[in-house]
Structure 1
C-alpha cells in the first residue's frame, strides 16, 4: 500500500465513522436501531444516489481491499460476540414455547419462500437452483438476536417473562439459522466444484466440543474461579478466535461459523461476569470503527437506481413472504403453545426483526455468488423494512404503559410473597 493509499484509507475511515455516528444517532432519535441509520448511510453513499466519480473520490477502488479486510474482521468479532452472548439458561422453564416459536418462525417463511424463489431464479443470474432456493428460504427465516436483545433492553422488557421467552426463542432460532446457512453454503460449495473439505465440518465441531471447550475453560479458570481478563489472556482468546475462523474458511465453510462456534464454546456457568467483560473489551473497537465499515460497505453494494417494475414486484413478493411467514409462523406457534393473543403478537413482532444478522446472511450469499447484486439490494431493503417495523408493532401489541405496569407488578411480587 502506497503512502497516498494509506492516507486515503485514513480519510475514508474518518468519513465512514462520522456518517455511521450521525445516521445512527438519527435512527435512534426516530426510535429505530442504529444499524438502520448506518445501513442507510451506506446506501446513500452508494450507486443509488452518488455518481461514479463522486464515489471514487470518497471511496476509491484502490483501498477497496483494505476496507473489505476490515469489514471481515468486524464480522469475525461480531459473530464471536453473538456466540458468546448465547445463554443456554434462557431456555430454562421456557423450552416448549421457545422451541415452538423458533421452529414456527423458521419453517413457515422457509416453506412459503420456495415458490417465489423458483420464480426469481429465472429472473437472476443463478448457477444452481438448489442452493439458491435454500438460501432464499433461509434468508427469509432469519431473526436478528442482537437487535432483538437491544430492543428488549431499551424497553426494559428483558426483565419480564415475555422478554425472556423472546430472547430464548431468538437464541434458539439464531443457532438453527446459522446451521441452516452452513448447510446451504456447503451445498453451494459442492455444486460449484465438489469441495470435499466440507466433510471436515463434523470432526471440526466434535473437536470444538470435546477438545477446545475444555481447554477454554481451563485457560479461563484459576483456583476454580474465572481468571482475571488480563491482556495476555485476551490475546490468547483472540488468537484462538482467528484460528477457528481460519479453520472453517479452509474447509469450505464461511469464516463466520468458526467465529460463532468459538464464542459459543466459551465457558458459561459461573462465567457471566467474565463473558460480559470480554464483550465490553471487544465491542468499543468493533462497534465504533470496524462494524460501521461493514455497514457502510454493505449499504454501498445496494443499487436501487436500476430497480424497474419487475424489481418492485419482486420486492413486494419478498416483503409479503418475509413478513407474513415470519410473523404468522411465530404467532400461530406461540398461540399453540398456550400464549395469549397479545403475548403472541409481541413475540411475532420481535421475531420479525432481521437487522444485522440478515445483512451478514446476505453478504455470505453474495460472496458465494448464490445471489446476484440486484437481489442482494432488494433483500437489504426487506431487512431494513422488517427491522423498522418492530418498534411500531411492539408498541401496538405491548405499549409502554403496559410494560411499566408489568414491571411494577414483577417487582412487587417477591415483597407480597414475603408478607403472606
Structure 2
C-alpha cells in the first residue's frame, strides 16, 4: 500500500500526543519570559492605577460588624447557616421518631430571638437582619408553593369518588367544633389576655380560628416523609385539610373586618374572588383531562411552572393564600401525564433547600421568652394545648367514624387533621400585626401549634391497612 507522508499540521499535532512530549526551553529562559510577559505588565497596571488613587472609599455595602459583606453575600451566608442548622436539628428529631419538619421549625426557633439572637445579638444585625430575612421569606414562599403543587398531584379526585360526603363532614366538623372550643376559651380569657381596645367578638373568634386550623403544607410534608403518598387516606386528609384552610382564610378575613383591619366589602370580595378562581381552575381541569394526550405532549416544564405561579397569584390576590391556588392546580392536573412526572423529578431542590428555609424563617419570628417564669401563664398555655388537641382529634375522628370509616382509620384521620404547623404560625403573625392578640397569647398559640404538629407523626407509625390508590 502507498504510504502517505504526514502533513505539517499533523507533524505539529504529533508533538503534543502522549509519548511524544514537546521540547521545553531551559529553566532560565522560562523565568525570563515569565518576568517579561507577566510580572512586568502586572507591575505596570499597579503603578498606573496607584498614580490615580485618590484614597476614597466606595459606599458601604456591608451591614453591622461585618462591613465587607454585600447583600448577596449576607443572603447566601444566611442560607448556609439556616440549611446547616435545620439539617442538624432535623436529623436529631428524626432519631427521636419525629418528622424532620419539627426539627426544621425548631432550628428556626433556635436561630431566632428565643436562643441565638438573645445570646449573640450581633448575629441578628448581620446574617439575619430584617432585609435578609425578607428576601429569604420570598424564597421560602416560592418553595412552599411548588411543594404544595406537588402534594396536589398526589390527590386524585377520581379516587375520592363516592366519599365526597365523608370529606365534607370531616372537614367541616374539624373546623366548627374546635372553633367553638377556642371561642369559649377566648371569651373566658378575654379580660386577661385581650389587648386594650380589642372587642370580645374578634378576639374570641380569632382564638377559635387558631384552634380550628389544619396546616396543609406541613401535613403534606409529614405524609411524604412517612411514605403515605398515594394512599386513599392521604388523599382524603389532604383534600379535607385544603377545604379546612380555605374556610379558615375566609374566616380570618371576617375577623380582620370585625377588628377594624378591613371592611365588609373586603370580606365579600375575598369570598367572590376565591369562588371565581376555584371555578376557573375546575374548568381548566376538565379541559386538561379531555385533551390529556395532546396536553402531555405539548406542554413543557416552563409553561407548567408559569401556570402554577399564576394560580398561586390568583388566590393570593383573592385574599386567601398563594398555596391554595397551587394545591388546587395540582389536584386538577393529570398526575399520570409525562409533563407532571418530569416536574416531579425536577423538583429535587425543594427537599434540601427551599422547604427548610420556609420552616426556619417562620421559626425566626417566634420568641419563646415572652412567657417568662409566670406559672399561671404556663398553666394557661397547657390548657390551650390540651383543649386544641382534644377538640381537633375528637371532632374529626368522630366525624370519620360516623361516616362508616374503620376505627383505626378514623383515628388516623383525626391525628392528621390535628397538624397545625406553619399555617397556624402565619395566621398568628397576622393577628399579632393587626393587634387582635398580644405577644403572650401569640406565644401560647405557637407552642400549641408545635405540640400538635409533633403529635401528628404518632398516627403514621406504620402502613398497616393502608389502602393504595389505583395507578
- In terms of Rg, which structure is larger? 2
Closer/same/farther in 2, CA of residues 363 and 173 from structure 1, 3 Å limit: same
Question: Post-superposition shift, 1:350?
Answer: 2.6
Q: Return the alpha-carbon distance in structure 2 between the equivalents of residues 107 and 211 of structure 1.
A: 28
- Is residue 301–residue 373 contact of structure 1 (8 Å, CA) maintained in 2? no
- Is residue 274–residue 315 contact of structure 2 (8 Å, CA) maintained in 1? no
Instruction: Map 1:135-214 to 2 at 5 A.
Output: 135-149=206-220, 151-152=222-223, 164-165=232-233, 167-189=235-257, 191-194=260-263, 196-211=265-280, 214=283
Instruction: Map 1:100-139 to 2 at 5 A.
Output: 100-122=169-191, 123-125=193-195, 127-139=198-210
* Mean CA deviation greater in 39-48 or 289-298: 289-298
Closer/same/farther in 2, CA of residues 53 and 346 from structure 1, 3 Å limit: same
Which runs of 5 or more structure 2 residues have no equivalent in the other structure?
Answer: 1-59, 63-69
- Is residue 396–residue 413 contact of structure 2 (8 Å, CA) maintained in 1? yes
TM-score by length of 2: 0.71
Partner of 1:380: 446
Which runs of 5 or more structure 1 residues have no equivalent in the other structure?
Answer: 412-420
Question: Post-superposition shift, 1:169?
Answer: 3.8
TM-score by length of 1: 0.78
Partner of 1:290: 354
In angstroms, what is the RMSD of aligned CA positions? 3.5
Closer/same/farther in 2, CA of residues 269 and 84 from structure 1, 3 Å limit: closer
Partner of 2:380: 314
1:278 and 2:346 aligned = no
More helix as a share of residues: 1
Partner of 1:233: 303
SS at match of 1:143: coil
Question: Post-superposition shift, 1:285?
Answer: 4.0
Q: Return the alpha-carbon distance in structure 2 between the equivalents of residues 97 and 213 of structure 1.
A: 21
Partner of 2:367: 303
Q: Return the alpha-carbon distance in structure 2 between the equivalents of residues 342 and 267 of structure 1.
A: 26
* Mean CA deviation greater in 211-220 or 111-120: 211-220
1:26 and 2:92 aligned = yes
Q: Return the alpha-carbon distance in structure 2 between the equivalents of residues 165 and 364 of structure 1.
A: 32
* Mean CA deviation greater in 343-352 or 221-230: 221-230
Q: Return the alpha-carbon distance in structure 2 between the equivalents of residues 69 and 154 of structure 1.
A: 24
Deviation string, structure 1 residues 137-195 (Cα, Å, up to 9, x no partner): 22212234454455555555567xxx524531442232133222223224414622437
Closer/same/farther in 2, CA of residues 154 and 139 from structure 1, 3 Å limit: same
Question: Post-superposition shift, 1:241?
Answer: 3.6
Partner of 2:138: 69
Question: Post-superposition shift, 1:30?
Answer: 2.1
User: How many residues of Structure 1 are paired with residues of Structure 2 in the alignment?
Assistant: 393
Q: Return the alpha-carbon distance in structure 2 between the equivalents of residues 29 and 352 of structure 1.
A: 22
SS at match of 2:368: coil
Question: Post-superposition shift, 1:222?
Answer: 7.2
Question: Post-superposition shift, 1:116?
Answer: 0.9
Deviation string, structure 1 residues 400-420 (Cα, Å, up to 9, x no partner): 4xx45x47xx89xxxxxxxxx
Question: Post-superposition shift, 1:19?
Answer: 1.2
SS at match of 1:296: helix
Q: Return the alpha-carbon distance in structure 2 between the equivalents of residues 21 and 42 of structure 1.
A: 11
Question: Post-superposition shift, 1:312?
Answer: 0.7
Greater RCO (CA < 8 Å, at least 6 residues apart): 1
Q: Return the alpha-carbon distance in structure 2 between the equivalents of residues 189 and 178 of structure 1.
A: 17
Question: Post-superposition shift, 1:300?
Answer: 2.0
Closer/same/farther in 2, CA of residues 223 and 46 from structure 1, 3 Å limit: closer
Q: Return the alpha-carbon distance in structure 2 between the equivalents of residues 90 and 357 of structure 1.
A: 27
Partner of 2:391: 325
